[in-house]
Amino acid sequence: MENSSGVPNPSSESIEDSKAVATVEHGAWQSTIYAPHIGYKFAELYYSVMRVAPRYANEFYNERGHYRTVYADGSASVARTRLHVKGSLTRPMSASELIVKSIISMPCGGTSGGLMVTVIGERFTQVFVVKYRPDRMSGYAIVASLTRYISAGPAADHQTPVVTFAADDCRAITGAARAPALV
């Protein structure tokens, strides 16, 4: 089944389930109760579209917003419109860049029906804020997001080193490439 944009719909039950919750139960109190379910279904649908038809993933984004992507090499891009987001989303990606390990969702934005969704993947972390949009396929649209991709290198490359100050009684976590030897 496809939606009006021609997006293949790998999980039509998820869309209907998410939209039903979003439209029937919309409101601050209901958003609080259903936030985990709505956020999970939204992220599940988003990542299934990213795997099957990434050229349509920009449809999940609001027309205007703040969308930042930090790539594994340290470069970053900021998009402010759905058209600009499409450029970031259609870059070549490996399957491991889309493996989702955890989805956490909580209400935010007071009575506006917003949700903050954190998706932790095999090689990425994405945090996005979605707002209630009844005209959208899922009932919500991403209004802000931060996505960070992690290199495929060994796990030791991802550890944050610990640095000891001269006073020898206080430690600081830094972004240094290598940890100095601790005495």
* Tokens matching residue 14: 């998820």
Domain 12-152 matching CATH 3.10.450.50: the answer reads yes
Rg of the chain on CA atoms, in Å: 19
Distance between CA 148 and CA 157 in Å, rounded?
15
Q: Say whether 173 sits in a helix, a strand or coil.
A: strand
Is pTM beyond 0.85? Reply is no
Phi and psi at 96, nearest 5°, equal -70, -20
- Quick check: 132 and 111 in contact, CB under 8 A? no
Q: Which of 9-13, 72-76, 93-97, 160-164 has the highest mean pLDDT?
A: 72-76
Alpha helices in the chain (DSSP H): 12-24, 28-52, 82-89
Q: Do residues 70 and 79 make contact, with C-beta atoms less than 8 angstroms apart? A: no
Residue that the structure tokens 């930042």 belong to: 68
What pLDDT was estimated at residue 146?
Answer: 94
Bigger pLDDT: 152 vs 63: 63
Domain ranges of the chain: 12-152
Contacts of 169 (CB under 8 A, 6+ apart): none
Tens of pLDDT, residue by residue over 3-24, are: 444 444 544 444 455 444 444 3
